[in-house]
Amino acid sequence: MQKTKNDKEITDFYAQYSPQVSAHALLLREVVLANLPGIIEQLDIPARMVGYCYGQKYSELICVIIPSKKGLKLGFNRGTELPDPEKLLKGTGKISRYVEIKSDTQINSIAIKQLLLSGLKAYKEYIPIKKR
C-alpha cells in the first residue's frame, strides 16, 4: 500500500467507528491508493470523510470514503457520468453518486476498481487542457 504522511491521522479517524466499518474503510483505502497513482489523500474532519484528489479544488476530487455508524460509502464526484454496469451507484444528486460498501469481497471487486478507473478517466477528461 502507498503510504501517505496522513497514515496515523487516517487510521485514528477510522478507529472512531465500529470495528467492521473501520476494517472496511482501511481496506477500501488500500484499493483506492493502489488504483489512483499519485492521488492526494485529504482527511476532512468536519465533513467526516477522506477525499482523494489531484488538486485542491472540488472539481479535482475523484472520490471520498465516508464512514458512519450505519456503514461505509465510497462517493464519486461526477458519479452521474460514470459507467455502472453492475448498478452499484446510488443517490439522487445532480453530480455525485455513492456505493454502499457491504463486504471485503465487494471492496476487492473488479466493479469497484472499474469505478475508480472511470472516475480517474472522467477527471482527466474534465480538467483544463493547461493542467495536463
Residue spans per domain, the chain: 7-126
Please tell me the distance from the alpha carbon of residue 38 to that of residue 22, in angstroms, as a whole number. Answer: 24
Provide the terminal-to-terminal Cα distance of the chain, rounded to the nearest Å: 26
pLDDT along the chain (132 residues), means of 10: 67 96 97 95 93 84 96 95 95 95 97 96 73 46
For the chain, counts of helices (H) and of strands (E): 4, 5
pLDDT at 111: 97
CATH class of 7-126: alpha beta
pLDDT at 132: 43
SS3 32: helix
pLDDT at 43: 92
pLDDT at 5: 55
